[in-house]
Amino acid sequence: MKFTKMHGCGNDYIYFDCTKSDFPGGAEGEKAAAIKLSDRHFGIGGDGIIIIKKGRTADFEMVMYNADGSRSQMCGNGIRCVGKYVYDAGYTTGREFTVESMGAVKHLKVIKGERGEKETWLSVDMGAPILQAEKIPVAVGGPSRASGTAVVAEGERVIMHSLDVAGTEYKITCVSMGNPHAVVFIDKKPADFDVCGVGPIFENNAFFPERTNTEFAFVEDRHTIWMRVWERGTGETLACGTGTCATVVAAILNNLVDAGTPVTVHLVGGDLQIEWSGRPEDSVFMTGPAETVFVGEVEV
């Protein structure tokens, strides 16, 4: 089966074009392929696989699996790559189109690059952030089974909430961008932070009923953030588009960066620009690159 390897700021996935035919084996086949092919030693290597289909409520559909075979609702870097793929393939006549993922429809716009170029820049309307505790979701209405930390009430926001993780108290701000994120602001650039040690403990903490992605972020100034991320179901990745959006939202909620102006977020794999007005009903806009690495064919 033909595939295309693509990445957005180093967040790399294996893409399959299923606009004309279904993936072999249905959902179980997709899950098995994600586990097998994502392996960087015995497979193609990637943070997961993304299957591109014709949309039902949008122009196209993105079906995303993490490296462990679990489904994910949204991936900001992945959806930009889907946008580049359908644009390069000539599946869309214009530079603006829509992509759905698990019912959520996002609007994409190609802002730099022509069809077939190695790198394309796209802007994505990621929708309004979800801030209510039970919708993120985080534990609501009782103590955390893992730490005894009091949880928030239904309808509340989780801003600088104390959470005990492996004996250390962290202040977390939680946001969903279609998938759950816990943002931790630290006092230095995260290059030496123990993301791989702390990340999986956050991911599986009972405070997060559907597990969580965790961002460790240092705010350099009112327009600049440095960030590393631990993604549920995958581990540390070089970038996370939804996590970058969540981090900027969290920074605005805590008055650490300015609302209504682009904030540059430096990730291990590159930079993204995020903009949010600060009004809960308004969309978060993400701008960044998508790049084709190589194409090939693999047995699935």
Burial state string for 14-44 with b = 16 or more CB within 10 A and e = fewer than 16 = bbbbbbeeebeeeeeebbebbbbbbeeeebb
Q: Which of 227, 231, 241 is nearest to 189 (CA)?
A: 227
Mark whether 196 is an active-site residue: no
CB 115 within 8 A of CB 82: no
Residue in 9, 75, 81, 174 annotated catalytic: 75
Decide the pairing of beta strands 224-231 and 213-221: antiparallel
Q: Which of 99, 94, 89, 91 is nearest to 111 (CA)?
A: 94
Mark whether 174 is an active-site residue: no
Residue in 9, 81, 240, 245 annotated catalytic: 240
166 vs 147: CA distance, rounded Å? 9
How many CA atoms within 13 Å lie on the side-chain side of 153? 1
**Which residues are the active-site residues?**
75, 240
